[in-house]
Amino acid sequence: MKTRTFLSSTLALTAFALTPSPALAQDEDEQVEMAEGDETGADELGQAMAMLSGLFPVEPLTADQEARLPLAQNIIAKMIPEGTLGEMMEGMMGDMLGPIMEMGPKASTTTVADRIGVTAFELEMDDEQAAEIASIFDPAWKERSDRQAAIMPEMMREMMTAMEPGMRKAMSELYAINFSATELTEIDAFFSTETGANFARKSFTMASDPRVMSASMEALPQMMGQFANLEARMVEVAADLPEQRNFADLSDAEKARIAEATGFTVDEIESNLSMSEIEWDEEAAEEASEDASS
């Protein structure tokens, strides 16, 4: 159940990230608070990015690979001409945003929800009612939403354009690592032909074709079905191992040692566990109710 809830939340967050919402338009006071926190936020973001980068250490190129790098760079320049990733993302966003926005709450509903401190899914209003109430809070809600939606493809294009030099560098190094000088020369010769040049230009942009997106969406139910079985399969593969012990199963000495090591008192740990059990029970009841009604 936890796995299914996590996946559902992840999909919802992904959709929210791609969908412009009036909730993104803060009041002036909120904008000031955000501006004041920009420096701290930038420092934290930099630290987080440095930590993530450290998770993927890169071996330096060997002398032979360095020697092949110019050939590889020439090939990647044909595969990813300047501006390719930005154009690809802009086109993909244009195709994706419409259907995604249709799936989510209307802009009028999100405007009302944001102003009264609830989620859009908690409101039970038809479109006419939502538009009327949204206009009370924000007479320009429709234009605001349209403008925000319009800049999303542009913003994604800018993000991908900023990412492009690093991508081109990484791909060049990978080609230098994975192909010999002879192979690189032959690949470059093919890409220098009319057919090869056409293939090189389209090889990246085809990945954002609606056919690919449609195929991914068609496979989603099967993928979700596999994830739904994940929890049971994880239990199955560990079935022959000794059962885990709960905090309540431990001796007083073991509880004291854990408290000393973690910095939480025994009472605090037991209280936290009690709250977690309540949350689990509530979640299980909610899911059971949803399953019964479906």
Angle, CA 244 vertex, CA 239 and CA 249 arms, to 5° = 145
What does the mean pLDDT of the chain come to?
77
Query: What per-residue confidence (pLDDT) applies to 179?
Result: 97
pLDDT at 18 over 60: no
How far apart (Å, rounded) are the C-alpha atoms in residues 156 and 154? Answer: 5
- In the three-class reduction of DSSP (H, G, I as helix; E, B as strand; rest coil), residue 131 is classed as helix
Q: Which two tokens stand for residue 205?
A: 């942009």
Please name the amino acid found at residue 22.
Answer: P
pLDDT at 205: 73
What is the model's pLDDT at position 243? 84
Q: What is the pLDDT of residue 246?
A: 87
24 — pLDDT class (breaks 50, 70, 90): very low
Contact at 8 Å (CB) between 255 and 247?
yes
Do residues 111 and 141 touch, judged by C-beta distance below 8 A?
Answer: yes
Residues of the chain above pLDDT 70, percent:
74
pLDDT confidence of residue 172? 95
- DSSP label of 58: -
* Mean pLDDT score, 185-211: 86
The answer to whether 203 and 85 have CB atoms below 8 angstroms apart is no
Q: For 103-148, what is each residue's pLDDT tens digit?
A: 667 888 888 888 888 888 887 888 888 889 889 888 998 898 888 8
The pLDDT score that the predictor gives to residue 282 is: 67
Range in 18-22, 225-229, 248-252, 284-288 the model is least confident about = 18-22
Q: Highest mean pLDDT: which of 66-70, 200-204, 215-219?
A: 66-70
Amino acid at 188: D
Residue-wise pLDDT for 263-293, tens only, equals 989 999 888 888 877 777 666 667 666 666 6
Dist CA 116 CA 111 (whole Å) = 9
pLDDT (0 to 100) of residue 47: 75
